Amino acid sequence: MKKTLTIILLTIMAGFSARADEGMWLPSLIAQRIADMQEKGFKLDAEDIYSINQASLKDAVVLFGRGCTGELISPEGLLLTNHHCGYSQIQQHSSVENDYLRDGFWAMNREEELPNKGLSVSFLERMEDVTDRILKGYEPGMSEDERVAAVKANSKALIDEVIKEGKGLRATVEALYYGNQYFLFLYRQYDDVRLVGAPPSSIGKFGGDTDNWMWPRHTGDFSMFRIYADKDNNPAPYSKDNVPYKPKKYFRISTAGVQEGDFTFIYGFPGRTREYIHSEGVRYIEEIGDPHKIHLRTLRLDIMSKYQSQSQKVRIQYSSKHADVANAWKKWQGEVKGIRKMKTVQTKQEFEAAFDKWATDGEFDGVIAKIYGLYKELEPYQFAAEYYSETVRAIEIANFASSLYATYKVNKETGEVTFDQKKAADLVEAFYKDWYLPIDKECFAALMTEFDKNIPAEFKCEYFTKQIKKYGSAEKWAEALFNKSIFADQAKVEKFLKAQKSFAKSRKTLLDDPATEFAAEFAKWYASDIYPATSRINQELQLAYRDYMRGQMVYCRTQRVPKVFYPDANLTLRVAYGHIKGYQPADATYYLPSSTIKGIMEKDNPEIFDYNIPQRLRDIYAEKDYGNWTDSTGEVPVCFIATNHTTGGNSGSPVINADGDLIGLNFDRVWEGTMSDIVFDPEICRNISLDVRYVLFIIDKVADADHLIAEMTLVN
């Protein structure tokens, strides 16, 4: 199977390599694309991008936290990523007295760098095709459950084997092309990562949710961290004795600037794409899934914004939460618009009809109809699952109650109940620091009202139906729950945990609390009524898609259909390349590919929080004291757009020029092109990046932290 798939892929790549700038390519296979990259202007070779025999660009790129990318920019472990990627760490260190979100933070020496709980970065050591080993023991005719069991067992054995190779290693085995291929990814993880610098949010988040996903953009979306290691450069837990990590490779920084048409190359960890999804899956997203999720998040955002505008403390508490909710909310809006504009459902239906006609009486006969039928069966369960996620799982007090209850453990043999006091104390501290009861209570009422309105009676949780009947409305239910629950009062929770004499009785008390009951009853409903169906149907879909994926490759190869295949993103290291280019989103409108500080001043408005820049920046602009960080027009460049294929997870990814030097940080996509997770349009899909010269300008002129620039290697 592996050899067959590889032959098909190589044939398709060779035949249709001229296709625009679409694609997220595996670095270990980049030799298959290097000729096209070089034809478009790239000056290095495949070994410079990915090598396990020598230092390469991959060794300067990290998976930052759980879903972003970062890059090394100095021999002292200095790391650059987006402001929004480091936002939660900046927020954790912020208080009313030290508001680093508002004022920014800059460590003027190593002693001032701030350690972060739970933050790690991972370097990819190597990736390799392990399809044969992972499918060892599987034979045609076996059930899907037997196949899954074989894959799971073989993956575990392989992972256990490779992580013994050195300190700090972790590994994953990932399915590509719906399980037609499997790759091993071996990482080295560093857990001592310290905050070095971040501009104020009025720079790092300039434009806020209004400008999010939009172009032109003027957001200084960057933050800086440093990786620490033990004296032997190995991963180690935080310690004052740790020293800055010495990287195998770090990026030189180009100050030469960018021009339209320049080659660009992105190296990062894209999160999730679905380029090969069936038309019925797209129809659900366009007509049902996204519109409902947009509406639910609009309700939450309006409630948060109302209270944030009334209190600086609440603004800080909910800044990260608001950003998290708003990000997908706005993306989904652009996604729906793009899907409709490109007539994606219709286009896919036409492809499927041609494929189905070709597949008659062959290996892939009936796969289109099978997938269609499975989506129809899945739809009501998928809708209920998404509503559960966007409503029940959005109630903060219930999530906290469930987490605190889980700190009690029951020995299955003896029945003895134990309690993790430290974990409980940490949960209490973390939750109440960033929780505001009126927001959570109002969200509860609004979301449960929508649940009642939109979930069909046959899919509703029995507990939910009883509570609504008991109280008459979601508003009255919210009033009762928040009044009765011990979790609504931090002092009561702390007193309860300190005064408990019997862990068994205390555990029972928490279980009977209305907030815990709410979380538990809905969880039982989801586990018994929703998840089994979605799991079963999705497993059948996975099996059908495995055939359809392989079928698409054979069809396109034999029928000479111009389609390039690359694996969907799954938060593994990928290469995407393209060039600097503007775009035309509408008739008589053309967007240039670069923005400058002039645009910041045009948007500056002290009356609007998201557009109120620091006075220091106004003064610098008035004096034109730009230092060495200007473009050919004498202005400071801020952002640029290019045709690179990116998605979530690419945030913070290095944008590299033809010489392999850093020219920017990827941080967003244009709103009109957010459908690129499903369908890529080279005419409209653009990634948005922060020009590295603006980063240097802020560090130098706004932060007065040129000691950081002294660590870097600048080239012109």
Q: For residue range 121-172, what is the model confidence (pLDDT) as tens digits?
A: 999 999 999 999 999 999 988 888 899 999 999 999 999 999 999 999 999 9
Q: Please indicate, yes or no, whether residues 526 and 657 belong to a single structural domain of this protein.
A: no
Q: Tell me what the mean pLDDT of segment 581-594 comes to.
A: 94
**pLDDT, tens only, 161-202:** 999 999 999 999 999 999 999 999 999 999 999 999 999 999
User: How far is it, in rounded angstroms, from Cα 319 to Cα 305?
Assistant: 10
Instruction: Kindly list the catalytic residues.
Output: 84, 221, 651
User: How far is it, in rounded angstroms, from Cα 56 to Cα 635?
Assistant: 34
Residue 316: predicted pLDDT: 87
Q: Please indicate, yes or no, whether residues 356 and 453 belong to a single structural domain of this protein.
A: yes
Query: Do residues 477 and 448 touch, judged by C-beta distance below 8 A?
Result: yes
Residue 691: predicted pLDDT: 98
| pLDDT over 60 (residue 528) | yes
Residue 279: predicted pLDDT: 98
Q: Please indicate, yes or no, whether residues 463 and 610 belong to a single structural domain of this protein.
A: no
Residue 104 lies in a domain: yes
User: How far is it, in rounded angstroms, from Cα 526 to Cα 520?
Assistant: 10
pLDDT-derived band at 8, boundaries 50, 70, 90: low
User: How far is it, in rounded angstroms, from Cα 445 to Cα 621?
Assistant: 47
Give the H or E element holding residue 493.
helix 490-499
Residue 604 lies in a domain: yes
| pLDDT over 90 (residue 609) | no
Out of 65-69, 605-609, 659-663, which region has the weakest mean confidence (pLDDT)?
605-609
Q: Tell me what the mean pLDDT of segment 372-398 comes to.
A: 98
User: How far is it, in rounded angstroms, from Cα 424 to Cα 413?
Assistant: 24
Provide the mean pLDDT of the chain.
95
Residue 150 lies in a domain: no
**pLDDT, tens only, 658-677:** 999 999 999 999 999 999 99
Which residues are 611's β-sheet partners?
A: none
Q: Tell me what the mean pLDDT of segment 696-707 comes to.
A: 97
> What is the CATH classification number for the domain harbouring 604?
2.40.10.120
| pLDDT over 60 (residue 633) | yes
User: How far is it, in rounded angstroms, from Cα 321 to Cα 298?
Assistant: 13
230: how many CB neighbours lie within 10 A of its CB?
17
| pLDDT over 80 (residue 16) | no
Residue 137 lies in a domain: no
Residue 220 lies in a domain: yes
Percentage with pLDDT > 70 across the chain:
97
- Which residue type occupies 384? A
Q: Please indicate, yes or no, whether residues 609 and 709 belong to a single structural domain of this protein.
A: yes
Altogether, the residues listed in the chain come to a count of 716
Residue 14: predicted pLDDT: 40
Query: Of 223, 225, 237, 224, which Cα lies nearest the Cα of 190?
Result: 237
**pLDDT, tens only, 257-309:** 999 999 999 999 999 999 999 999 999 999 999 999 999 999 999 999 999 99
Which residue has better confidence, 210 or 263?
Answer: 263
Q: Please indicate, yes or no, whether residues 202 and 78 belong to a single structural domain of this protein.
A: yes
User: How far is it, in rounded angstroms, from Cα 471 to Cα 348?
Assistant: 47
The beta-carbon contacts of 489-497 under 8 Å, at least 24 apart in sequence, are 490/428, 490/432, 493/404, 493/428, 494/428, 497/421, 497/424, 497/425, 497/428
Q: Please indicate, yes or no, whether residues 288 and 249 belong to a single structural domain of this protein.
A: no
Residue 168 lies in a domain: no
The overall pTM is greater than 0.85? yes
Contacts with 192 (C-beta within 8 Å, 6 or more apart), sequence order: 115, 227, 228, 229, 235, 236, 237, 238, 239, 242
Q: Please indicate, yes or no, whether residues 236 and 309 belong to a single structural domain of this protein.
A: no
Which residue has better confidence, 716 or 385?
Answer: 385
- Which residue type occupies 184? L
Residue 376: predicted pLDDT: 98
Residue 345: predicted pLDDT: 98
Q: Please indicate, yes or no, whether residues 490 and 418 belong to a single structural domain of this protein.
A: yes
Domain range for 472 is 279-545
User: How far is it, in rounded angstroms, from Cα 626 to Cα 581?
Assistant: 26
The number of domains in the chain is: 2
| pLDDT over 70 (residue 15) | no
Give the H or E element holding residue 476.
helix 474-484
Residue 531 lies in a domain: yes
Q: Which residue has the tokens 């008659």?
A: 360
Q: Please indicate, yes or no, whether residues 683 and 635 belong to a single structural domain of this protein.
A: yes
Domain boundary among 513, 545, 577: 545
Residue 355 lies in a domain: yes
Residue 1: predicted pLDDT: 47
| pLDDT over 80 (residue 553) | yes
Residue 20: predicted pLDDT: 61
Residue 243: predicted pLDDT: 98
- Which residue type occupies 151? V
Residue 19: predicted pLDDT: 52
Residue 320: predicted pLDDT: 84
Cβ burial of 255 (10 Å; 0-12, 13-18, 19+) is middle
pLDDT-derived band at 13, boundaries 50, 70, 90: very low
pLDDT-derived band at 572, boundaries 50, 70, 90: very high
Domain boundary among 515, 545, 575: 545
User: How far is it, in rounded angstroms, from Cα 336 to Cα 525?
Assistant: 30
Residue 5: predicted pLDDT: 54
Domain boundary among 545, 576, 594: 545
Q: Please indicate, yes or no, whether residues 284 and 256 belong to a single structural domain of this protein.
A: no
Q: Please indicate, yes or no, whether residues 270 and 292 belong to a single structural domain of this protein.
A: no
Q: Please indicate, yes or no, whether residues 514 and 605 belong to a single structural domain of this protein.
A: no
Residue 475: predicted pLDDT: 98
Strand segments, DSSP code E, in 511-661 are 574-579, 583-586, 589-591, 594-596, 637-642, 654-656
Q: Which residue has the tokens 């802020």?
A: 698
Contacts with 509 (C-beta within 8 Å, 6 or more apart), sequence order: 496
Query: Of 169, 196, 170, 219, which Cα lies nearest the Cα of 74?
Result: 196
